[in-house]
Structure 1
Amino acid sequence: MDVHRDFAQVAVVEDGRLSDAGQIACRPEGLRAWATTLRPDDEVALEATGNTEAIVALIAPRVARVVVSNPMKTRAIAEAKVKTDKVDARILAQLLAADFLPPVWLPDEHTRQLRRIVARRAHLVRQRTRLKNQVQAITARNLLPRPPVSDLFGTRGRLWLQRQELPADERRSVGALLRQLDFHGEELAEVDRELATEGLSDPAVRRLMTVPGIDVAVAVSIRAAVGDFTRFASADKLVAYFGLNPSVHQPAAHGRITKSGRAQVRGMLVEAAWVASRVPGPLRAFHQRIKARRGVQVAIVATARKMTVLCWHLIIKEQDYAFARPSLVAFKQRKLELQAGAPRAVARRGKGYDYNNRELRRHEREIIEQQERAYATLVAHWQPHGPGRSTTAARRLRRPRRSQG
């Protein structure tokens, strides 16, 4: 099936013969009617598009297998000189018959729902940023001074903005933008409440939140993008899925990261890496070591890649982050509960209250800084072995020879 917005072109391979089967409407009634003509041993192939998941849900119960192909990997179609709907459908049918079609993983309904929520949150964040930039542009073109507060859109910032002299039309524009900003803020709070509820019910999300820099939004984004962590045989597979692996142009020559796969979660991991690079721990030591050699931008991307590897190991091994600060983790868990709608413990010390103890925070920080120094010392004295040389052989070469005679 060569799928489009309103129709799908169908080609059939049966008993070695290739033929066109016309077009079907990409509507539930049309797809259900066409699915009744299929046999239980039939196989269907289509490329991943915006309406693929809905089409697969209608067809999959009627056939033996539905293969969803990655368009970027279907090179026979991508590099074809003659591209028509019939040609693309025929190539898909032939590749499926020869079992040469690279399939993609199909998430379950819960994972698809999480992906939609995460995408909606990312859209709301972009809209809020756009509205704030427009207000900043109005203040700049009217020669207003910089606000004396850190947050122009908070209570004190808005009071300062009301006292400034602006043309009547510009003041109306600012008021309209602030009303839109408040509306998007309410919608964002509702989405964050849904994410918090999901985080409380998912052990994997809570485990990912033990890593510095990863909050519930980042953790749920990773969970929604990956789905089942066990489908990745190694951490490097997950790194490549997020597009954080370097591209290889020739042997022993690495370029920039590929940026393939889930762009949204890759951006959130980079933001989490900025936070992790500023708090004590081995991740900060790793960032500083790469920064000294390659610069800050490369160091941030490398830290995001390191955090991706760390997330894979935590979920696969079912372990929390070993260098987490207990009071901070408890504070994040309590904040997650409050965000999900749990009642506040007024005049009582809840689970996250220990984070308010400065002496306890200082003690935990000293322990983490000691672990950071231990990691930096270990890496500084690390002596990698040459390629193809085993550990035993390397030890034998470093061992001093006994004198003869």
Structure 2
Amino acid sequence: MSNYYNVPVVGIDVSADFSMVAILAPNGDIYRKPFKINHDASSFNYLLEQIKKVEEEFATKIALFMEATGIYHLTLFYFLQDNEVNSFVINPLVTNCTKNKNIRKVKNDKTDAISIAKLGKYENIKASSWLDTSVYTLRNLWLEYYDLVDSRANLKKKLSSDLRLTFPGYQDGFSDITGNTSLAILEAYSTPETIAKAPKDEVVNLLSTHSRKGILWAQKVYIKLMMATENARAIGVKYVAFSSKIQRYLNLLSANTTEIDTLLNQIKDILTSESLSEAFRQGVKLLTTLSGVGFITAVTIVCEIGDITRFKKSKQLTAFFGIDPSVNQSGKFNSTQNKMSK
């Protein structure tokens, strides 16, 4: 049985710009017709007033349930938590399994709000009341970090493709064409012709300075670059915009790298601040001691777990990540070849 069987319950169906609210009395009757609130301060305060009226009438605290809807529910949930309303977020997978139990299919915002209220009132479901703005900020930062890393990877692929067409053989001189040494060469000599015309000592010195591998290594790379310029004359695809295109790639890669470094510094600043719990920081520290788990990976995992005290057993955490085996059993049949649950 639900812990909120004998108390008034509020169900909210959240949309992008507005939400529908349904209120159930302690006996399960609809307290008033479902009503709409916009996502603005005046509507949120109006909802708060209605909640207080219900609590005063029945002399007990309400329980409020809403469905997780990407980012749309967060402002309302944070507002309610900040005003000490007993509010919970339900996983959409749970609500989708319980909606429309009637034979006649009805789907609208009002019925969805009532369904969510009934679900919270009568069903013993898993719901979250945890929200930490610092952790949420961290989560957004590492999502931006991964987006920028993906963007940088795409830029590298495009640069590599263009160099293979216009400067075949260039990649033979460098283990990473987007490394500091290669980028310095492309910055100074953006076409095969400019490298071929440049004084040897100048190119070798540039290679040696940025690589820190010595003159002998720089001279070997110079020879490979000269061979690449010969290839470019013979088989390279020539077009006028190549030089400016290379420069755009270099500018974008530089800006991308700067943004990534800025994000990493912001993440580290939050982790060292007092806004995060000691348990959170300790979780990140412990994960980084595992082989193969880097700093960002550790932050990502701990952010997704959230308040680890929610999980009483290791099996619950395993199920939360969806890496536990699914179950397929019927009668005497018991499958032994099951996929992971998620």
Same fold, judged at TM 0.5 (above): yes
Which sections of structure 1, spanning at least 5 residues, go unmatched?
Answer: 260-405
1:253 aligns with 2:325: no
Which sections of structure 2, spanning at least 5 residues, go unmatched?
Answer: 1-11, 56-60, 193-231, 233-237, 274-280
Matched with 1:272 is: none
Matched with 2:296 is: 217
Partner Cα separation in structure 2 for residue 239 and residue 170 of structure 1:
51
1:228 aligns with 2:300: no
1:128 aligns with 2:207: no
SS at match of 1:246: coil
Per the TM alignment, residue 52 of structure 1 is displaced from its structure 2 partner at its CA by: 1.8
Does the CA contact (< 8 Å) of 1:20 and 1:90 recur in 2? no
Using structure 2 for the length normalisation, give the TM-score. Answer: 0.67
Matched with 1:68 is: 89
Compare 45-54 and 55-64 and name the one that shifted more.
Answer: 55-64
1:46 aligns with 2:58: no
Say if 1:20 and 1:144 are closer, same or farther in 2 by CA, change over 3 A. farther
Matched with 2:76 is: 55
1:106 aligns with 2:123: no
Partner Cα separation in structure 2 for residue 34 and residue 153 of structure 1:
55
Q: How many pairs were matched up?
A: 259
Matched with 2:257 is: 185
1:9 aligns with 2:23: no
**Amino acid in structure 2 at the alignment position of 1:215:** G
Say if 1:78 and 1:216 are closer, same or farther in 2 by CA, change over 3 A. farther
Partner Cα separation in structure 1 for residue 328 and residue 257 of structure 2:
45
Matched with 1:282 is: none
Per the TM alignment, residue 57 of structure 1 is displaced from its structure 2 partner at its CA by: 1.7
Per the TM alignment, residue 64 of structure 1 is displaced from its structure 2 partner at its CA by: 4.7
Which of 145, 170, 176 pairs up with 1:151? Answer: 176
Deviations 1:4-35 (A, max 9, x none): 11110122222432253221101233212321
Matched with 2:41 is: 28
Per the TM alignment, residue 100 of structure 1 is displaced from its structure 2 partner at its CA by: 4.2
**Amino acid in structure 2 at the alignment position of 1:256:** K
SS at match of 1:205: helix
SS at match of 1:22: strand
1:86 aligns with 2:165: no
RMSD value, Cα: 2.7
Does the CA contact (< 8 Å) of 1:72 and 1:78 recur in 2? no
Say if 1:199 and 1:60 are closer, same or farther in 2 by CA, change over 3 A. closer
Partner Cα separation in structure 2 for residue 124 and residue 12 of structure 1:
44
Per the TM alignment, residue 83 of structure 1 is displaced from its structure 2 partner at its CA by: 2.3
Compare 132-141 and 22-31 and name the one that shifted more.
Answer: 132-141
Greater relative CO, 1 or 2 (CA 8 Å, sep 6+):
2
Partner Cα separation in structure 2 for residue 141 and residue 234 of structure 1:
56
The sequence identity of aligned pairs, in percent, is: 24
